Structure 1
Amino acid sequence: MFKKIAIGVVAVLVLFAGFVATRPDTFTVTRSATVPGSPDIAFGLVNDFHQWSRWSPWDNVDPNLKRTFGGAESGVGATYAWTGNDDVGEGQMTIQEASANESIRVKLEFIKPFASTSTTTFTFKPADDGTTVNWTMTGDHNLISKAMCLFMDMDKMVGKDFEKGLASMKTAAQAEVTQRAEAEAARKAAEARAAEQAAPAEGTPAVATPAP
C-alpha cells in the first residue's frame, strides 16, 4: 500500500513539474501615469537614487531599512543597495543606461528572499498636462518562480506597487513644479525691485552732463 501511495505521489509531482515547465519563460509588468511638469522633473526623480525615497513604493516599508549608495552620484553607474525586513528583502539596483529626459534602464538584483535578476525601464514623454511615465519590469522565470505564479498573479502583485509608486511620483513632481514656480516668481520680483531702485526717482530732474 505504501509503495502504491509513494508511486502515486511521485507521478503527481512529475505531472505537476511537467505542467509548470510549460508556463511562460519570461514575465513583463508595466504601468503608466501622467505626472505634473516637464520630463526633466520626472527623469530627475528616477535618475538619482537619492530621490527614490520621495516616491518608491518600497522605500518606507521598513523603517529600519539600510541603504547604501555607490558609483556615480546619479545616472549611469549609480548603484543603490538595500537590506531590510522580510517585506523588502535584500538587493541592489544599478543604472545601466540613461537618455536625458527620455529613458532610464535599471538592473534589479534580488538577493533575499530569493535570488533573481530583472530589468526595469522608465520612459518619459511630454503630455498635454505633464509627462507620461511608463514603468516596466521584465525578467526570466525559473522553475520555482513558474510554480509560484500558479498561485499568485505577479502582474497584479507588482503592478499594484508600481501604481502606488507612480502616484507618489505625481506628488513629488508637483512639489518640484511648485518650488520652481515660486523660485521663478521670487526671481522676477527681485529683478523688478532692482529695476525700480536703479530708475531715477519720479519728479527728480535729470542732471545734465557738462560739455567738455
Structure 2
Amino acid sequence: MEIIGRLKLRHFHRQIWSLVGSCVRITLAYITFISLAGVGTQLIQAIFSEAVRVAVSKWRANLTFEQALEYLARPGDLGLELQPAIERELISRGSSCAEMQTFAWAQPCLKLEGIFQPDDLPDTPTDFCPVPEAEGTVIARVTAIACLAAINSATVSYGSENGGDLFVNLVVFPPGRGKFTVKSADKMSGHTDGVTFPLRGYRDPGNDRIAPSPDFVCLSA
C-alpha cells in the first residue's frame, strides 16, 4: 500500500510521501492519486495503480532478486527506467504521466489500492532500519520509486535521519527501549518532515543546514 498525503499551510501547499519498509506489510498494497479529468477519482486511481503494477511486474520479470536489490541503491536510474514503461501503460488506458502529475499535486491524500502484491514478507521488523531484504519489500520499494518517477519527482532521503536510509520500517519497538518504545506506538500526526521544515525553494532562517520538506511522502503497506 502506498499513500500520498499533502499538507496545506495557509496559501502554501505541501505534499508528503511516506516510505516503504515500514511502510510494508499486508496483502494488497495501495497508493492514492487523483485526477482533473471528467472521470471519477477512484477510476483514475485504479488506472494509475494498474499501469504502475503492470510496468513494475514486467521490469521485475527480467531481473534476478540480486539485480533488483542493486537497482534500489540507484533510485534515480530506476525511476528513469520505469517512467517510460509506466507512460506506455497509461497511454494504453487513455491517460498519461502528465495527467497523473497534475492530479497528485491537486489532492491532499492519494491512495492507490492493489498497486503491488507484497508476497514473501519476512517477520515484522523490531527496528526502523534496515528494511528486510525480501521479495515483498523489494516490490514495495520499487513501486514507491516508480510512482514518484511517474509524477516527475525524484526519490530522496535525509542524511540526518536513520543514517540516510531511503526506506524505513514504521514499527512499534519491543518493550525495554524506554521513551523510544512509547514514541513508536504513539500517533503520527504532525510528522516533522511535513510541518516544521521549510518549503521547497526556501531555507530555514535559523539554520541553513536544514533541508526543505519533501513534496511527497510515501507510505506503503
Report TM bin, short chain.
Answer: under 0.3
Indicate the structure whose relative CO is greater, using CA pairs within 8 Å and at least 6 residues apart: 2
Q: Which has the higher strand share?
A: 1
